[in-house]
Amino acid sequence: MLRDADLDPVPTPEALARAPELAALALLERALDVTRYALIAAHPELHACLDDYPRGLPWDAQARCAAALISLADRLQVVLHTYYRVLLDANGASCADEVPF
């Protein structure tokens, strides 16, 4: 049965035995974090206004693309966390149906 502790940033071998996809998901989540930080470092103007596209600021094409990538990465992280919750719920439901010995 998976637990919240199994969804740590680095899944344990036991957690991976129960849900092997956690390995790829952990890598993807870290890659999204690093990408976000790197894009903000490369385009400091993004740091202050990621939540709202700043009208009137002279963003070049690179900054606009970086902002779009960050927005997509943020959306993907929401889906990842939803998947984690669904994985926990599905795993718990299947274990709850088993007869305890």
Percent of the chain beyond pLDDT 70?
71
CA–centroid distance for 18 within its chain:
20
Handedness of CA 21, 22, 25, 30 (dihedral sign): negative
Going by pLDDT thresholds of 50, 70 and 90, the confidence category of residue 46 is confident
What tens digit of pLDDT does each residue of 53-97 get?
A: 555 556 788 988 999 999 999 999 999 999 999 988 887 644 434
Mean pLDDT of 29-57: 79
pLDDT score recorded for residue 96: 38
Q: For the chain, how far is it from start to end, CA to CA, in angstroms?
A: 16
